[in-house]
Amino acid sequence: MEAINDFVSAVNGFVWGPVMLVLLFGTHVYLTVRTKFIQKHTFKAIKLSVTPDTDAEGDVSGFGALTTALAATIGTGNIVGVATAVALGGPGAIMWCWLTGLFGIATKYGEALLAIKYRVKDKTGAMVGGPMYALERGLGQKWLGVIFAAFAGIACFGIGNMTQANSISTMVRDNFGVPQWMTGVALMICTALVILGGVKSIAKCCEKLVPLMAGLYILGCVIILFINAPLLGAGLKLIVSSAFTPTAAGGGFVGATVMMAIRFGIARGLFTNESGLGSAPIAAAAAMTKNPVRQALIAMTGVFWDTIIVCALTGMVLVTSILKSPDQLAGLDGGALTSAAFNHIPVVGPIVLTIGLITFAWSTILGWSYYGERAWVYLVGTKCIKPFRFVWVIVVFVGSIMSLTLVWNIADTLNAMMAFPNLIALLGLSGVIVSETKKYLWNDELESWSTDEIPVLDK
């Protein structure tokens, strides 16, 4: 078993290595240029996200689709992943993580636009879309759509289910002494109550859960930054300077080269916001929207909230806390480093962090259940929906009680493999992204209705 895990770890290191990072970040920059820096419309997009478009076709509101995607995206990576980036790549990794999010907004926009442009209805009348349909209907490459759906359909059980459930049960055991199997049962029941109702039930839950959990965590970060206020300037200066110059060991930080800062910053940024992986557009395709551009703008705000805000706040909390207490935080990594930083808020800090980690992980389970379901619907049709939901709930319990090092590595590898066919769709259909953007956004026609006919599948 150890040999298998070592092999999978080596493969995982390759697929998440320099080639993937350059390809993803390069796509971010390319689409930013082609869309004439779509990021400048972020605040207009935020306003659209809370503006109902109920007369349009779709299964959930634009805000519901956004929060469903955010539920899957805002996870433990925003907390633990950022801490790992700082520990391995130094404070400069935060700058590269932030830049990845800034440019990744354009990729998320493009993904969502294509998902809605090429979405279809299944035989139950539900909207379905995502990279698999863009590849099939847009590029005429169904085999690539099948590959994407297969990777997503398998990866979802690991990275979107078992690993998240295990992190929750382990955390509850360590903090409250509750046996993992008991947490597993409770988690299984709560998950079943939400996902058995389909995307409408998931979106309804996420509309309430995501703002609450993110708001609570952001409040905790703001309080810590207020406590560390005298160090804000020094922390920000260190983050920016370390992104472009080597960091010497000392002051609670390990030594790090510029390449280490770039590598770990970009890798963690991509992992937290999932821009380019092709997962979030599956949720965007279910949205009620007049035209593809309108919902694409809403979808891209997910990266703004996830990376530009949450990850940036986490990074500032970690760096200023290390500067304040270098002896206490030196050598810590991942969750241990974040926990130590939140201990700056007496009594309440650890509770806020624990609640944040639990809700972040559970929301990921909800969001990824929809991604996985839509992937299997593409592969075998709507007959899989009820069996998939039943299996998903059971796997939540299994994940809560077993060791998952190998599962995590396999799922992480498959998650990365999803990106390759999705990037082919983005680059191959970049002309469509530009033409649709010109039609509705640059010509100031965001309230115009799309004339595209939505096909109905027979499976």
Q: How much is the pLDDT for 253?
A: 63
- Judged by average pLDDT, the poorest of 24-38, 127-141, 270-284 is 270-284
Within 10 A of 303 (CB to CB), how many other CB atoms are there?
Answer: 33
Q: How much is the pLDDT for 323?
A: 87
Asked if the model's pLDDT at residue 249 lies above 60, the reply is no
Percent of the chain's residues with pLDDT above 90: 41
Q: How much is the pLDDT for 439?
A: 96
pLDDT interval class at 404 (50, 70, 90): low
Asked if the model's pLDDT at residue 380 lies above 80, the reply is yes
Asked if the model's pLDDT at residue 45 lies above 90, the reply is yes
253-299: pLDDT as tens digits: 666 677 778 777 887 777 778 888 899 999 999 999 999 999 999 99
Q: How much is the pLDDT for 3?
A: 72
Question: What average pLDDT does range 215-219 have in this prediction?
Answer: 88
- Judged by average pLDDT, the poorest of 53-67, 102-116, 401-415, 425-439 is 401-415
- Judged by average pLDDT, the poorest of 38-47, 185-194, 253-262, 299-308 is 253-262
pLDDT interval class at 250 (50, 70, 90): low
153-190: pLDDT as tens digits: 988 888 788 888 888 888 788 778 889 999 999 999 99
pTM of the model: 0.90
For residue 441, the 8-state DSSP code is: I
Q: How much is the pLDDT for 328?
A: 77
Contacts made by residues 48-56, CB under 8 angstroms, sequence distance 24+: 48/294, 48/297, 48/298, 48/446, 49/298, 49/301, 53/288, 53/289, 53/290, 53/294, 54/288, 55/288, 55/290, 56/288, 56/289, 56/290, 56/449
4-14: pLDDT as tens digits: 767 777 777 77
Question: What average pLDDT does range 98-114 have in this prediction?
Answer: 95
**Whole-number mean pLDDT of the chain?**
86
Question: What average pLDDT does range 198-208 have in this prediction?
Answer: 87
> In whole angstroms, what is the distance from residue 357 CA to residue 170 CA?
11
Asked if the model's pLDDT at residue 251 lies above 70, the reply is no
The CATH code of domain 12-435 reads 1.20.1740
Q: Extract the tokens encoding 206.
A: 């996420």
Which range of 292-296, 396-400, 445-449, 454-458 scores highest in mean pLDDT? It is 292-296
- Judged by average pLDDT, the poorest of 210-219, 326-335, 387-396 is 326-335
* Residue 341 near residue 329 (C-beta atoms within 8 A): yes
Write the DSSP string, 412-426. Answer: HHHHHHHHHHHHHHH
Q: How much is the pLDDT for 297?
A: 96
Name the β-bridge partners of 161. Answer: none
* CA angle (108, 111, 113) in 5-degree steps: 105
